[in-house]
């Protein structure tokens, strides 16, 4: 099977925040100040972050404590709305660098430093999608996690 790669312009900084806001509003949700702060904190992280990490970042920026439960609810909304991805094996989240695009997702996660590298290669996940269709599932978006040691750590 030939590999099918997605190629995207990946916005950063304020442009990424604006695209995330537009995608959330287009999905029928509100873009609140708290949601913006959570997204900004998540997008600023170089590594996957837990809800507690994000709550701490937002608490510092607000000057008052923000509960991790509130952050979890927002992160769940972001995952459901394709603004963030959850890395199950690390119980952590990363901002989706192209929130308007739904596609298969492959994460390479370093067991040493925790870095998560995101790959777009629908060819690799095509067999999973096909098997799920045969089992009667629709609206499938595989998330595959592979753990190992990155080039920087090896």
- CATH assignment of the domain containing 137: 3.30.1490.190
Q: Do 137 and 70 belong together in one domain? A: no
- pLDDT in the model for residue 11: 52
pLDDT score at 92: 93
Residues 17 and 77 in one domain: yes
89 in the same domain as 34: yes
Whole-angstrom Cα distance, residue 154 to residue 148?
A: 10
Low-confidence ranges of the chain (pLDDT < 70): 1-13, 100-103
* Domain that includes residue 127, residue range: 105-148
Residues 88, 116: one domain?
no
Question: CATH code at 26?
Answer: 1.10.10.10
Residue 82 confidence (pLDDT)? 87
pLDDT of residue 3: 41
For the record, the structure tokens of 118 come out as: 């995101």
Task: Indicate yes or no: pTM above 0.75.
Answer: yes
Contacts 24+ apart (CB under 8 A), 64-70: 66/34, 70/34
Q: Are residues 55 and 111 in the same domain?
A: no
154 assigned to some structural domain: no
Domain count for the chain, please give it.
Answer: 2
Q: Residue 43 falls within a domain, yes or no?
A: yes
Residues 82 and 17 in one domain: yes
Residue 135 belongs to a domain: yes
Residue 16's pLDDT is: 87
């Amino acid at each position: 099977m030939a590999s099918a790669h997605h190629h995207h312009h990946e916005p950063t900084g304020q442009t990424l925040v604006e695209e995330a806001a537009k995608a959330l509003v287009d999905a029928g949700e509100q873009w609140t100040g708290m949601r913006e702060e959570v997204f900004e904190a998540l997008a600023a992280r170089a590594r996957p972050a837990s809800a507690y990490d994000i709550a701490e970042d937002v608490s510092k920026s607000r000057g008052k404590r923000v509960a991790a439960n509130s952050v979890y609810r927002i992160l769940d909304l972001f995952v459901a709305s394709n603004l963030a991805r959850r890395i199950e094996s690390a119980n952590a989240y990363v901002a989706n660098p192209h929130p308007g695009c739904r596609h298969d997702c492959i994460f390479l996660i370093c067991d040493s430093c925790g870095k998560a590298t995101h790959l777009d290669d629908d060819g690799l996940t095509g067999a999973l999608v096909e098997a799920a269709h045969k089992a009667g599932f629709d609206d499938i978006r595989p998330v595959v996690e592979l753990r190992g040691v990155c080039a920087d750590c090896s």
